[in-house]
Amino acid sequence: MKNGNRVCGIMCIGKATGETVCFRCADVIAAVGGPAGIYADSAYPECHTGSTGVFLEAGAAAQNLTEWQYGLASVSPRWNVSGTYMQVLPRFVSVDPDGTEHEFLDDYFSDRYGALSAVFLKGYQWPFDSRKVLDGSSVIDLLVYREKVLNHRRVYLDFTKNPFGLEEIDYRKLSGEAREYLEKAGACFGRPIDRLLKMNPPAVSLYLGKGRDISAEYLEISLCAQHCNGGLSVDMWWQTSVRGLFAAGECAGTHGVTRPGGSALNAGQVGSLRAALYICSYPNEKTSDAEFLPILKKCAEKHRMIAESVIGGEENTVKLISDAQRRMSDSGAAIRRRDGLSSLLEITGEELAGISDKASVSSADRLYTFYKLRDILLTQCAVLTAMIGYSDTAGETRGSSLCYDPSGKLRDGFSEPFRFVPESRGETRKSIQEVYLSDGAFSCRTRDVRPIPEDDSFFENVWRIYRENGGIY
């Protein structure tokens, strides 16, 4: 809840009862993780969906929503299949609706040992990286996507047999990097499961503990969303464009274009501390009763009207969420095409506009699923707006996505949807794209990248500033 452009409170809904609880406060820290719920193919825990839409609707701007991290992961349970899962050279299998199996890497690669070397590299060249498409291991990600989304097949890893019907792998024919690694690990023998048990037994136990015995059954995989590098726009104290609203962790858009790691993740992890220090040093005043009660009454009335509209029918929110997630994974994830994004945004916008008429829940204790659906659709609209805006203004492929461009380059053996222009690292790195909600619709704008501060860290100056304000300003 806002009073002008500052936080005055927050309304929560109890999952068990559907009843609301309101808190009057001057500051809110959003540490809700990334918008995990917008995708069907996801490596996020199923219980985690995020709440980015809530804060976008409150007026907070977002940035870099085009930048995600996608990689191969198992579907059930959700887990990244990086590291030794790839280095043991499993068999990739796709299955038609009629049950026909295809060892599709063999259909693409003319050199089987070239295929195995690329699979090995996926172990530590995870996630999908557009720089490794034309000549690198990310071709494996594209082949998995092509099988699932374009060929409508389910894709699996098989650890029980060597690829391509090989009784024994000739490790001398692998790339030097793959051969040397497996030799040093003492894993140049047997089947993929044998090599995995030799190199990393806990990797097998992990799936066994989640009900999957990969020593005896296939493991279904997909090209999955794993991390949103963008998020809510924040300043150096992690405060958003709404006064008193802070965002920390993956919810904040502080992670850049390529895979976050090391100092990038550290920057996200200190967000809550930075926000707390600022709030303690510069606390906002709570909104007075006279101002707060009318705002509260308005929010409560809006919730009451929603509840009356959606409670009592045959429940369909879970199905609507699933449908929305599937559409997003197919057309608004790692592989992007301008016309497909536009069509998807139109569909998603229509779903959001008519949500109170289309969605229904069986009882009050299921009302939270309606709000989850609404948040997912709202966030999808923001992300799709960002992707379309980037396509219109930059269009180059970067990070963990591939943006179709008819004038671009195409890896041998792939069809037109996979043609792209690699990023030139020119003007696109000098600006930040922001997305904001205005008059019920999302729009894009750009701002210059903030310059690195010129600070000589001279001791006397640093000590003086610390005495004056604790270094918090």
pLDDT, position 466: 87
Residues β-bridged to residue 102: 94
Residue 79 backbone dihedrals phi, psi, to 5 degrees: -165, 135
Average confidence score pLDDT of the chain = 95
pLDDT at 264: 66
pLDDT at 43 exceeding the cut of 80: yes
According to CATH, what is the number of the domain 2-67+229-448?
3.50.50.60
The pLDDT tens digits for 208-231 are 999 999 999 999 999 999 999 999
Amino acid, res. 459: F
Mean pLDDT of 414-418: 94
Tokens coding 110: 């003319």
Lowest mean pLDDT among 43-47, 298-302, 469-473: 469-473
Identify whether the C-beta of residue 389 lies closer than 8 Å to the C-beta of residue 407: no
Per-residue pLDDT, averaged over 315-326, amounts to 98
User: Residue 263's pLDDT is what?
Assistant: 66
Would you kindly state where each structural domain of the chain is located, as residue ranges?
2-67+229-448, 71-225
Give the whole-angstrom CA distance, residue 73 versus residue 77: 9
Please give the pLDDT value at position 469. 87
Q: CB neighbours of 155 closer than 8 A, spacing ≥ 6?
A: 92, 93, 94, 95, 144, 147, 148, 220, 221, 222
Q: Are 38 and 383 a contacting pair, CB within 8 Å?
A: yes
Q: At what angle do helices 317-331 and 338-353 cross, to 10 degrees?
A: 160
Average pLDDT (77-105) is 97
- The predicted-structure confidence for 349-369, as pLDDT tens digits, reads as follows 999 999 999 999 999 999 999
pLDDT at 62: 98
Give the CA diameter of the chain. 79
Q: How confident is the model at residue 248 (pLDDT cuts 50, 70, 90)?
A: very high
- Tens digit of pLDDT for each residue in 328-349? 999 999 999 999 999 999 999 9
Query: In the 3-class helix/strand/coil scheme, how is 217-280 assigned residue by residue?
Result: CCEEEEEEEEEECCEECCCCCCECCCECEEECHHHECCCCCCCCCCHHHHHHHCHHHHHHHHHH
- Output the pLDDT for position 430: 87
Higher pLDDT, 199 or 465: 199
- pLDDT at residue 194 above 70? yes
Of the ranges 44-53, 327-336, 462-471, which one carries the lowest mean pLDDT score? 462-471
Q: Is the pTM of this model over 0.75?
A: yes
Which pLDDT value is given to residue 155? 99
